[in-house]
Amino acid sequence: MPRVSILILLFLIFSINCFATVSSNKTIYIYPLGRVEQLYLNTVRQSIQGFYHYKCVIMPILPIGNDLISPIKKRLDASKVLKKYNTNRNILIVTERDICHDKLVLKPYKHFIPEYGILGLGYRPGSVCVISLHRMKRNATKQKTLDRLQKVTLHEIGHNLGLDHCVFNKQCLMNDANGTISQVDREKVWLCTKCSNFINK
């Protein structure tokens, strides 16, 4: 077989394998935790499929058990949610309830802020993350809420893929929101070159 034909054949095989990896290698299962409006679930699914090109399946509602409630402020403890639903499947949990996490603060001295309200939390790397609409809906139109939901969803999936918080570009969606929504509003639906290269390496 001529050398050119062999090169073309190898290129076609490589292209088919790459396409198969992107289109069918990963499925993310989206679980509503408690009642979640269908529009929000559809937005999460469309955001992941459009940005990361993973197949998404919306699953039945998960009940909110007392084992997930934080003891002081009665929010959902995001760490408990991740631990409970951490399996070998890729799972994204969506809730309209407020969620919290014990936040580590290093300055002026090392300490924890208990039950600190957050937008989302995900293992890095890992296969499970949780996002909350509670803070996204504050003083926001429906469209603004959906914009925020898209960014936070892609941010937490980014953590599952191994991305840390971005310190290179304030418009990269992997910036740390620090529990506030203003940083999310400043971001684009975009990964900076550093973060993009990490995922695509």
User: Phi/psi of residue 152, each to 5°?
Assistant: -65, -40
User: Phi/psi of residue 21, each to 5°?
Assistant: -65, -45
Query: Does the annotation mark 156 as catalytic?
Result: yes
Note the Cα 152 to chain centre separation in Å.
6
| Nearest CA among 52, 48, 36, 78 for reference residue 150 | 48
Helix or strand holding residue 105 (H, E): strand 99-105
What is the average per-residue pLDDT within 145-172?
Answer: 97
From the candidates 37, 96, 115, 156, which is the catalytic residue? Answer: 156
What is the average per-residue pLDDT within 135-158?
Answer: 97
Helix (H/G/I), strand (E/B), else coil: 55:
strand
Q: Is the predicted pLDDT of residue 13 greater than 90, yes or no?
A: no
- Please give the share of the chain, as a percent, with pLDDT higher than 70: 87
| Nearest CA among 51, 79, 76 for reference residue 66 | 76
Q: If pLDDT is split at 50, 70 and 90, which confidence band does 15 have?
A: very low
What is the average per-residue pLDDT within 5-26?
Answer: 39
- Please give the share of the chain, as a percent, with pLDDT higher than 90: 79
pLDDT of residue 200: 86
Kindly report, residue by residue over 22-79, the tens digit of the pLDDT.
Answer: 334 589 999 999 999 999 999 999 999 999 999 999 999 999 999 999 999 999 999 9
| Nearest CA among 81, 77, 86, 83 for reference residue 127 | 86
pTM of the model: 0.85
In DSSP terms, 120 is beta-bridged to 131
pLDDT of residue 25: 57
| Percentages of the chain per state (helix, strand, coil), in multiples of 5 | 40, 20, 40
What is the average per-residue pLDDT within 123-134?
Answer: 97
Calculate the dihedral angle through the C-alpha atoms of 174, 179, 183, 185, rounding to the nearest 10 degrees.
Answer: 100
Please report the sign of the dihedral spanned by the C-alpha atoms of residue 141, residue 30, residue 126, residue 85.
positive
Q: Is the predicted pLDDT of residue 169 greater than 70, yes or no?
A: yes
Alpha helix locations (H) across 1-141? 3-24, 38-51, 78-84
Q: Is the predicted pLDDT of residue 85 greater than 80, yes or no?
A: yes
